[in-house]
Structure 1
Amino acid sequence: MNLLELVDISYIYHSLDGETEAIKEVNLTVREGEFTAIVGPSGSGKTTLLKIMAGLIAPSKGSIEKPKDVRVSYMPQRDQLFEWRSILKNVTLSAEIGKHDRAAATAYATELLDKYGLGEFKKKRPSALSGGMRQRAALIRTLVSNPQLTLLDEPFSALDFQTRLYVSDDVWKILSSEKKSCVMVTHDISEAISIADTVVLLTKRPATVKAVYKIDLDRTAPPTRRREQRGFSEYFKTIFSDMEVGDE
């Protein structure tokens, strides 16, 4: 089943200096059960494309095709946890804003926090959590609305390298256990290969899809273990070689 399809998507920025074409005729299909990673040169419009998929900005041209009953959630680069709210109240914020069933949202959030090692921190403030735990909480907040498709905008960018590795395992475990489809934007080719089933490479601006790679590694293994698997380095060499130098 196709959860979301981008058809000839283009995006143009308007400013006092004129127009800048950021994205040009991108076609992309996101299927149920898949983890897709989008990589590309710096400044190629990866985050812009993700925001279009999330419905946060409208494309200048093209269309987004999605079944009406498919719910999409978006997790920004920073965890954006509010210090004046407890972890539980942070992860149920969307239910408050969206006027959803708060009792059901609180029960589901509590279940997820307990399941993924944050239960004892649900009454704590965000400052009591490590960077990795904050990202786990932010992901749980994204999942409380029970979306079929989750969009992650560079979820590990604020973390040091070692923490990134462990947190990528956490994110993979949570999304796999909850059976969520996902699209993730990242600058890190190794990260994309280790966690995704499909890697989409964008060209430099104006971005279009240059190549799509099906990653044939053991899907039952966490990302840190996939990095050790045969074939990983070959995928990296191929994608790195195909990537263009982008605008800073």
Structure 2
Amino acid sequence: MTANAPAPKLQVRDLHKSFTTPAGVVPVLDGISLDARSGEFISIIGPSGCGKSTLFNILTGLLSHDAGTIALDGQQLRDLRGRVGYMLQRDLLMPWRTVLDNVIVGLEVRGTPRRQSIEQAREYLHTFGLLQFQDSYPKALSGGMRQRVALARTLLPDPDVLLLDEPFSALDYQTRLFLETMLVETVSRKGKTVVLVTHDIDEAIALSERIFVLSARPGRLKSEHRIQLDTRSPLEARHDPRFSGYFDLLCQELDIQTGQAEKVAA
């Protein structure tokens, strides 16, 4: 970063985390450093158990870190609690609440008047094709529709940064492509900064501007790759002539044989 360049939206420097177990101390993160510019979409990939979800739990304040720094807009913080939207693989919708009431829960916690919350929520429900289901309960929805509700709930409080922990991994491929497209269009339009954790190399390339590769536990930053494709469309990106080159390179980074890549990504 040059002297005149703006500070990254999100900056993590030399982050360390270990867990104490009956068998001894287990290091999980060993000096992780990464950053994301305002409005940038980045992904983090790595072997299972390398600390990707632990990193997210530290950023959201669910876990404390042992050493290192976290900064948002150049301001050093202990964590990003209240400043980020966090979406997981499971939608975690409350079954006793309607779609509309699930979406507005973040604004309720914040104390936003209900009428204002509903008005804002309906804009997202309309955008995501869910407005006609606003009075339905989660049990009446398909898996893809539930994840759309979860995405709307994550975006509605207008967080500074979105942390997405494999949010589409349990969905079929067609539904995943649809939600990836919806995600990219929405965050691009609203200028959101996004950090995605995924095991799916294909997904990481199609969605990201940069990809950070972590080593096996304890997680260390192994490499960083800038993805330069001619489109931001997740579907069209997969047909870009450079896509396969990035795919092969990342498979090599993760020590995956090309013939096994499809199985590992799934």
Whether 1:161 and 2:167 are equivalent positions in the alignment is: no
Distance 2:138 2:189 in 1: 24
Select the residue among 130, 134, 154 that pairs with 1:142.
154
In the alignment, the residues of structure 2 paired with residue 126 and residue 89 of structure 1 have an alpha-carbon distance, to the nearest angstrom, of: 11
2:220 is equivalent to residue 214 of structure 1: no
The secondary structure found in structure 2 opposite 1:33 is coil
Q: Secondary structure at the match of 1:65?
A: strand
Q: CA separation in 2, counterparts of 1:215 and 1:20?
A: 33
SS in 2 for 1:235: helix
Write the deviation string for residues 124-170 of structure 1: whole angstroms up to 9, x where unpaired: 11122222221111011011111121110100121123322222222
- Give the counterpart letter for 1:53 in structure 2: L
Q: Deviations over 1:79-107 (max 9, x none)?
A: 11112110010011122233344333222
Q: What TM-score do the two structures reach when normalised by structure 2? A: 0.86
Residues 70-149 of structure 1 correspond to what in structure 2 (within 5 A)? 71-149=83-161
Q: Which runs of 5+ in 1 are unaligned?
A: none
Identity of matched residues, %? 40
Give the equivalent residue in structure 1 for 2:254. 243
Distance 2:72 2:191 in 1: 19
SS at match of 2:115: helix
Distance in 2 between the 1:207 and 1:127 partners? 38
Structure 2 counterpart of 1:72, which letter?
V
Q: Is residue 2:225 matched to residue 1:225?
A: no
Deviates more, 1:3-12 or 1:126-135: 126-135
State the 1:244 CA deviation.
4.3
Are the aligned partners of 2:108 and 2:117 in contact in 1 as well (CA < 8 Å)? no
Tell me the equivalent position of 1:24. 30
Whole-Å separation in 2 of the counterparts to 1:176 and 1:9: 29
Alpha-carbon distance between aligned partners in 2 of 1:159 and 1:63, rounded to the nearest angstrom: 35
Are residues 1:179 and 2:185 paired?
A: no
When normalised by structure 1's length, the TM-score is 0.92
Q: Using the TM superposition, give the Cα deviation of residue 114 of structure 1 relative to its aligned residue in structure 2, in angstroms.
A: 1.1
Say whether the 8 Å CA contact 1:41–1:244 is kept in structure 2.
no
What is the deviation of 1:231?
Answer: 0.2
1:45 and 2:51 aligned: yes
2:71 to 43, 65, 79: 65
Q: Greater CA deviation, 88-97 or 156-165? A: 156-165
Q: Which structure is higher in RCO with an 8 Å CA cutoff and minimum separation 6? A: 1
Match of residue 217, structure 2, among 205, 209, 223: 205
What RMSD over aligned residues (CA atoms) do the two structures have, in Å?
A: 1.8
The answer to which of 163-172 and 231-240 deviates more is: 163-172
